[in-house]
Structure 1
């Protein structure tokens, strides 16, 4: 169930960093990130994002933009997706697990194969590919930019309670991934998401959906590979622009309660 959060004023804090100039002028993407913050915690949130950009394994940025803006619409609360871990001994095994999970989530095999080919043609995407499972084709005219999910977070204290309860890592990476997957999966047009990082030192990825939860897969690419993947498999019968507006503009705060 989604509820509105009105108790405090929050700010959306966003960062993007690149090398050899800004993204729109052909710069190599280094890092991106965001948080929701109260006014009193803005400096801390900015410092977290600054450190993330300046210590990334993809390289040292020579362009960075950090901005924040007050959120003047109600923030919706979502419960985090349930999580399961799938061990993979090789990339081939990991990719096979991912395909099986996508099929269980309701994505046709033809869509999976065509989306993979689309991904290979756009290996430097900065956002997500939207792929319609009905027409078996990419939708949305974003080219290399893709769609970037924004305005979402999970307050650190609540996330750490969740992690301790389920004996999970308290890592910022897991937190960010689960927040994004939860927001994307909550929309009725989303069938499933496939993702792995463009970080060459991080080979874990996931499949996520309302039906399956957050399915972490321990190896989806080779170590040292800078190519990432983010594909949202969607039901194309839904209106596209409201869906993109939800991904980019709707503010979401993940909240977990132990008694649930």
Structure 2
């Protein structure tokens, strides 16, 4: 039996009621791993670089096998940059190569670069017009309920590639679920962790384009944009992102 284990933490009270978001994490694991993951998440919330959380919420629930869907892990390619400006130019170029319009690219960067604090979720944006389609304001649309199908295999393969650790894993799993959502064209993201300057452009078309520098060191503001095809059913898209349980499978050539 599999269980979903989720953690959300904040400082100064509940996030959304005055508290500042510190950290979040989630896993889908067998029953015998639940306790270890809960302890690891509590430790992460209390020792995070954004601060020591004083509000920590942990949720554990059984995952019914019939509710799970699967998608492939999108391939990884890397773009080496040395400054925020260089990284964001590279991201613009990748988004255009995927097929996002110039108007949508500029709208996305304007939205993200105007943030004064990190969003909990993502902006959903028309990939042609650049219009924001969700109505969740600073909350955004969260992508949740996902993990690797085979954690040990993932750790072995990514370790050989020098991409071990929580940041790459969580980003790649999320990017894969997003890429295979009905209507997704591309995703743009950089982290809100102050010491993690890497960001990415993700798509089903080309994969996970890891951009080594996309923000300044110690910058605590991050965000993401999901670019979607015109006419996408946003209510259904939101439901898939937040509620559909997805396990991500490694491609056969990586096994």
Match of 1:103 in 2: 96
SS at match of 1:35: strand
Match of 2:87 in 1: 94
Task: Tell me which of 38, 42, 56 is aligned to 1:64.
Answer: 56
Return the offset for 1:47: 1.7
Judge conservation of contact 2:101–2:129 (CA < 8 Å) in 1: no
> How many residue pairs align between the two structures?
251
Judge conservation of contact 2:3–2:29 (CA < 8 Å) in 1: yes
Match of 1:160 in 2: 155
Judge conservation of contact 2:196–2:217 (CA < 8 Å) in 1: yes
SS at match of 1:138: coil
Return the offset for 1:202: 0.7
Match of 1:3 in 2: none
- What TM-score do you get using the length of structure 1 for normalisation? 0.92
SS at match of 2:16: helix
Segment of structure 1 superposing worse, 231-240 or 68-77? 68-77
Return the offset for 1:123: 3.5
Give me the CA root mean square deviation.
Answer: 1.5
| Pair 1:235–1:159, CA change in 2 (3 A) | same
* CA distance in 2: counterparts of 1:152 and 1:44, whole angstroms: 18
Match of 1:78 in 2: 71
Runs (5+) with no aligned partner, structure 1: 1-8
Judge conservation of contact 2:103–2:128 (CA < 8 Å) in 1: no
Match of 2:177 in 1: 183
SS at match of 2:137: coil
**Equivalent runs, 1:34-73 vs 2, <5 Å:** 34-72=26-64, 73=66
| Pair 1:108–1:54, CA change in 2 (3 A) | same
* CA distance in 2: counterparts of 1:143 and 1:131, whole angstroms: 12
Runs (5+) with no aligned partner, structure 2: none
Match of 2:209 in 1: 215
Match of 1:6 in 2: none
* CA distance in 2: counterparts of 1:153 and 1:93, whole angstroms: 31
- What TM-score do you get using the length of structure 2 for normalisation? 0.93
Judge conservation of contact 1:158–1:255 (CA < 8 Å) in 2: no
Segment of structure 1 superposing worse, 20-29 or 127-136? 127-136
Matched, 1:234 2:228: yes
Return the offset for 1:96: 0.5
Return the offset for 1:80: 1.0
Query: CA offsets, 1:65-114, max 9 Å, x none?
Result: 00011123431222211101110021111100000000011110111111
